[in-house]
Structure 1
Amino acid sequence: MTVYADTPLWGRHSTLWGHLISDTSLEELHRAADRAGLHPRAFDLDHYDWPASAHRDLERAGAVFVNGRELTRILIASGLRIPLVDRPAARARRTAEHAAQLGLDPAPRDLIVGLVGHVDPLPDEPGAYRLTRDDPAAAPRIEARDETGRAAAEEFLRRADAAARACGETGFVGQAMDVAAGVAAD
């Protein structure tokens, strides 16, 4: 059982990012990511995204560094890989499961209940929003394309908080990405 990391080459948020995978199980991957100090939101269905600044922490956590092709080969061989073409369906299944867990209907385009994983980036559409809350006592972080998106995010949070409280939680913890209903793209 080994975790593998590739060289950070993907630019976003003013840094370069790499990928961390397991050759055996997602549980092993989550444990290694935790040992390396990666935030649980860095998980993306079958891997963790990691910033270049985490290289030493990954070394200390026991990651083996390989090139990107080798990392992909190992991930495919592990049986854990979710191919790019299947990722939208995997996100839709996750969203449906998490919405059902809270009893949310309708569900947003992309939803995660809890701290592990992240939703798709904010789409470039009118009325789009991406909401993150890691602590039910804290204010959420809302990214919105416009005021319609911000209002839709606030409405989603009201519904999600009520649903979480109905399930015995103190409030919604998770992420959501959606576009306000009835907003047409130009």
Structure 2
Amino acid sequence: MTVFADTPRWPRHGMLWGHLISDTSLAELHETAARAGLPPRSFDLDHYDWPSAARDALAEAGAHFVGDGELTRILIASGLRITLRNRPAARARRSAEHAAALGLDPVPQDLIVGTLGHVDPLPERPGAFRLTRDTPEGAARIEAHDELGRRRAEQMLARLEDLSRARTGRGFVGQVVQGLTPSP
């Protein structure tokens, strides 16, 4: 069992990012990422995104560095890969499972309960929002393009908060992204 990392070359948030994968097990991947100090939010279905500044920590945690093409071949051979084509369905399944665990209906566009993983970016649509809350009593981070999106995020947070408290006795921790459904 080995964990592999490629060279960071994907720009986002003013940094370059790479990918971290396992050749056999998501549990092994999560353990290595935790030892390297990667936040659980940087997990994305079958890999972790990691900033170039984390290279030394990854090496100390036992990651093997390979080229992009080799990393992709290893991930495909592992059976853990979720292809670009299958990612929307995988996100929809995850969202449905997490919504069911809370008793949330209808299911949002993308939902994660807990701190493992991240949702899609904020859609470029009026009324869309992306909401993140990392601790049960902490403040939520809301991304929205307009006041409608901000209000919808606040309404969703109140609903998630009520459902989470009823199910777990604690406040909501997780992420949700929702675009405004176009009217017919």
Question: What TM-score does the superposition give when structure 1 sets the normalisation length?
Answer: 0.96
Tell me if 1:60 matches 2:51.
Answer: no
Structure-1 residue corresponding to 2:178:
178
Q: Does 1:117 align with 2:96?
A: no
| Deviation for aligned residue 1:182 | 5.8
Aligned residue number for residue 75 of structure 2:
75
Q: Establish whether residue 26 from structure 1 lines up as the match of residue 26 from structure 2.
A: yes
Cα drift, residue 107 of structure 1: 1.7
Q: Within 5 Å, which residues of 2 pair with 1:18-167?
A: 18-167=18-167
Deviation at 1:183, TM superposition (A): 6.8
1-structure distance, mates of 2:72, 2:3: 12
Task: Specify the SS of the correspondent of 1:170.
Answer: coil
| Number of residue-to-residue matches in the alignment | 184
8 Å contact kept, 1:18–1:52:
yes
Moved over 4 A (4+): 181-184
For residue 18 of structure 1, give the secondary structure of its aligned residue in structure 2: strand
Residue 180 of structure 1: CA displacement?
3.7
AA at the equivalent of 1:176: V
Distance 2:45 2:159 in 1: 26
TM-score (normalizing by structure 2): 0.97
Q: Give the superposition deviation at 1:181.
A: 5.0
SS class of match (1:84):
coil
Answer whether contact 1:126 1:183 (CA < 8 A) is retained.
no
Taking structure 1 as reference, are residues 54 and 183 closer, same or farther at Cα in structure 2, changes over 3 Å only? farther
| In structure 1, C-alpha distance between the alignment counterparts of 2:40 and 2:68, rounded to whole Å | 22
How far apart, CA to CA, are the structure 2 residues paired with 1:74 and 1:175? 30
CA contact 1:152–1:180 (8 Å) conserved in 2: no
Deviations 1:129-169 (CA, angstroms, capped at 9, x unpaired) = 00000101111000011100000000000110011011123
In structure 2, the residue corresponding to 1:46 is in which secondary structure? Answer: coil
Distance, in Å, in 1 between the alignment partners of 2:65 and 2:183 is: 45
Q: Which amino acid aligns with 2:162?
A: A
> 2: CA distance between counterparts of 1:167 and 1:183?
33
Aligned Cα root-mean-square deviation (Å): 1.1
Q: Which residue of 2 aligns with 1:7?
A: 7
CA shift, 1:170, in A, is: 1.3
